[in-house]
A and B are shown apart, each in its own frame.
Chain A
């Protein structure tokens, strides 16, 4: 038997989490370094997965399969396709930056309280989330996926509820109240989604007799597994609801702004850039493969909801006074694009959506982490408390601008390619929706530039006049992300090459072909 690479990629951060949690209270710095090393080692494993993966090979590769709960036909089945590989790489890539960016975020406020070990807990929880996210991307057994899809709520809950921004305008007590509100809201929303999905998972077992994604999808494709139309639709809705909460899709989005606002910037990045991607990923992998007919049936409604997400999220971002909330609403708008791309049912749309997941992860990380550095300097999240930062801290302002430009999908930076693919993919099948979605790019420019103008330009406010520029550690976090944004904007081929075959297969799962152009000869 070959080396279980996929298991190792997920197990390493899990083991690392336990080890980090076990570091004695006094050795805080050691815990940080341990977490960083583990996340870097995981990145190395993920890169190995990336290298070993053959885009033109079988659909699922590096597969592992072991019996687990025999009575219910639950198996420990792992396997990755191109989409999963790209997202595993993204996750493994972002975690070291998240760890580095949150280096001092969880230091205990007063020294001496030796038994309380928040730092160890913080980094252990981040690694635990990484482990669960990675295995969710790898699982090809529906039940196995479900378990980790739900389980990641637990560490996330503690990360949101337990660690917040240091200085808070309304005092520590109010801050802690709002934090626990946000954490409970996050948990309840996702739990409700998850429970509905559990019902659908059980329903799927009743209908299909096992939990194996590949077997069920094959049986569906060959016609040996018949599903009544209404059954298929109910099951689809059960799965989709959970993913739409996690993604989040309008009108199930309201937990995201609260959660992102109250958590520290690295955790906020963990939520949108990593955890939420499981939702959109699962739409592609489970909804479309298991329930192709129902997916097509639901497409019009989902597209409209995605469109509302795009425009609504952008409009609300314009109206925000809190930097983190603004980024959260911008993310809702971007998730609208991703979901629209998935359900446009064209290869451009789905490739674009997958690419978008990767790019959005990087661009949000860049913007949010710089915003976090900014907030930690001034101790306020309110846009109105800033002004003229550009003059005081030009490097910080410059990186913030680049992050913002990536968010507004400036050509030359990575998100542009994916956003345009999604728009084109949608436009070929649904012109009106495509055109309305294009308004999103104007609104994106509006909220980004307004944010930049209010915080970075204008006369220097006295409170920010002594603000230090980016430190070395912070620059190490931001610079590679920016380089990556530019690189993937100019040369996205490495990602698209991995993604394209997987998308082609998903397209054939749903029996859809791209629309033909009006003038054939031009090709």
Chain B
């Protein structure tokens, strides 16, 4: 059975290689090859899952050693895969949602002439993501970690003839690199601390190392998480990443890649458990991002960017939970899985809406679409109910558990974190209701006006040939797109309940992540009640603002906070002024310094010798008699010197 693990990765990797190297002759079938290989990987995943279920809880870790990767004295990195309950969960999520999104993309990218390449990149992403979760050591994980970064770069910049897409892709990669720096320093620290960076030695001996080192490792892992999972202060790339095609946003920037940070923290749980300061930092980052993303999500009129804010915020929940230690690990992963379902569904729904609306993304130009796109409306609606935590749907179970766990941390920290999580739930309810109302309800604002305003740069160009300024004719998407949406909607509805009844998910993951009950100062039902109150408040405010009153087609100026939130709370402006401008000045002045100073010193030396020689050259005046004088003078000097030496 172990030998199947490598096949999980090999299938999509083969797909990527075939599609990218194969060239134009595969254009006609490329998308089906990609989709097929993705499904192959999913099937292998299911087989392995069945195998794991058949074993006892203690024997559910499979390892496969392929070959020795970097053998250098004292430094052993192997290509070894590890399949346990945690990675199994991810494998199913990645290949399952990934396959659905492959299927969806067949329809979504139908008119794009570079569809084969798109599927090649998607397969590359699957391979890298699977490598990330299956690696048995941190260095191999790092390969997957940067691999998904590369795939993300290629896919965000897929429409790279648009400068905005190319810039967004570059930004995503660079911000991620800052995080990657954290991961590589963490690996170096592990190597100096444990002499190894394989999961086994590091995690089983984490308790023996000094707390200072563990805290340093933890903080570096947190930095890595911030980069990949778009947490404050490295969150700025996620909004821009929506430049990519919508299936990409659904798969990479909602369901899987951005949650890699949560995986990293949960996987390294043993390190964090022994480093309370690092844990505290994790919870703080999670809590801040939770609010940050939610606030940004409230202000965006671009449907994808609103969902991106929401993604940020939901991952904030997961990071917060992961920072709580054994109380929260399981729930972080559970929320991650349910979020994978409903957020992917929401993005696919958004893509479906855009598909039918000439790629318009501005929600102020939607409205009343429920009559035209019933399937999209229902699936999107179910995703919406799931994310706001409507009782019985999957978000309700997973988010509620996280809020409980936050309170259960105890002390002042617990109250603050729990309060933030509750507030986040209210804001989530608000902005998601806003998205829902602006898109599917209200008057049909798209009528009698041209779409694709020039200031909507992220509009997707696939439909350019349909006439740029024609009035849109909203229509339901083809089956190949709606089926994945339906499947994901079913997952969003049933997933949470399935996991929570009988604590199935808890028992499944506990052997890997560990679990402790925690002592909540407030009862579980009190928390649930409070969450419900928050939910109702959020929905109510949104209804009052966007449901009862007509939505203006042009955004009002808004309060100071709204305007700041529209600009991602000014973080981009800060980056621009401090990092971009500052960096430009630095490099420009360094170029100048290199030219004038470093090179100048050398050229100056050369010029000095040149000057000296041009003086000395004058002695060679061509007059034989002056040469004779110097000869006589020299001879006389030599004689005098000899005599002088004799005398002494």
Contacts and interface: CB of A to CB of B under 8 A. Distances in A.
- Complex A–B touching at CB under 8 A: yes
Interface of A: 188-189, 250-251, 253-254, 312, 315-316, 318-320, 347-348, 351-352, 388, 390-391, 398, 405, 410-412, 416-417, 420-421, 423-424, 427-428, 431, 434-435, 438-439, 441-442, 445-446, 449-450, 453, 456-460, 490-493, 496-497, 500, 503-504, 514-523
A453 B170 contact: yes
A460 B201 contact: no
Given A318-B587, A320-B591, A518-B213, A428 B70 contact: no
B591 A445 contact: no
Contact of A421 (B72, B161, B181, B202): B72
Nearest to A395: B23
A356 to B, nearest CB: 12
What are the 10 A-B residue pairs with the smallest beta carbon separation, nearest first? A517-B195, A319-B587, A457-B166, A411-B143, A347-B73, A457-B160, A522-B194, A522-B201, A522-B205, A427-B188
A439 B180 CA distance: 10
A504 B73 contact: yes
Contacts of B139: 420
B211 to A, nearest CB: 12
B525 interface: no
A412 B72 contact: no
Contacts of A441: 177, 180-181, 184
Contacts of B598: 250-251, 253-254
Nearest to B72: A351
A516 B192 CA distance: 7
A257 B210 CA distance: 47
Contact of A254 (B72, B143, B192, B594): B594
Nearest to B67: A491
Interface of B: 20, 67-75, 79, 139, 142-143, 145-147, 150, 153, 157, 160-163, 165-167, 170, 173-174, 177-178, 180-181, 184-185, 187-189, 191-196, 201-202, 204-205, 208-210, 213, 583, 586-588, 590-591, 594, 598-599, 601-602, 606
A390 B147 CA distance: 21
A494 to B, nearest CB: 11
A519 B191 CA distance: 10
B161 A458 contact: yes
B170 A449 contact: yes
14 contacts: A188-B606, A189-B602, A251-B598, A318-B587, A391-B161, A410-B146, A427-B191, A428-B192, A441-B180, A449-B173, A450-B170, A458-B161, A518-B192, A519-B209
A428 B191 contact: yes
Contacts of B166: 453, 457-458
Given A315-B587, A490-B69, 5 more contacts: A428-B192, A458-B162, A493-B69, A518-B193, A522-B201
Interface of B is mostly: helix
B193 A445 contact: no
Given A319-B587, A439-B181, A500-B72, A410 B150 contact: yes
Contacts of A428: 188, 191-192
Contacts of A457: 157, 160-161, 163, 165-166
B75 A421 contact: yes
Contacts of B202: 522
B184 A423 contact: yes
B74 A514 contact: yes
A415 to B, nearest CB: 12
A140 B69 CA distance: 32
Given A254-B599, A446-B174, A348 B590 contact: no
Contacts of A521: 205, 208
Q: Is the interface of A mostly helix, strand, loop or mixed?
A: helix
Contacts of A431: 192
Nearest to A252: B602
Contacts of B196: 517, 522-523
A50 B587 CA distance: 43
Nearest to B164: A458
B181 A438 contact: yes
B72 A523 contact: no
B80 to A, nearest CB: 14
Given A254-B599, A319-B587, A405-B150, A417 B70 contact: yes
A492 B192 contact: no
Nearest to A421: B72
Given A316-B594, A410-B150, A496 B72 contact: yes
A305 to B, nearest CB: 12
B72 A411 contact: no
A367 B67 CA distance: 29
Contacts of B163: 457-459
A496 B71 CA distance: 7
Contacts of B161: 388, 390-391, 457-460
A449 B166 CA distance: 10
Contacts of B205: 519, 521-522
A254 B184 contact: no
Nearest to B114: A394
Contacts of A496: 70-72
Given A188-B606, A449-B174, A491-B67, A348 B73 contact: yes
A517 B590 contact: no
A420 B143 CA distance: 11
Contacts of A188: 606
B195 A438 contact: no
B142 A411 contact: yes
Nearest to A454: B166
A388 B167 CA distance: 13
Contacts of A351: 72-73
Nearest to A351: B72
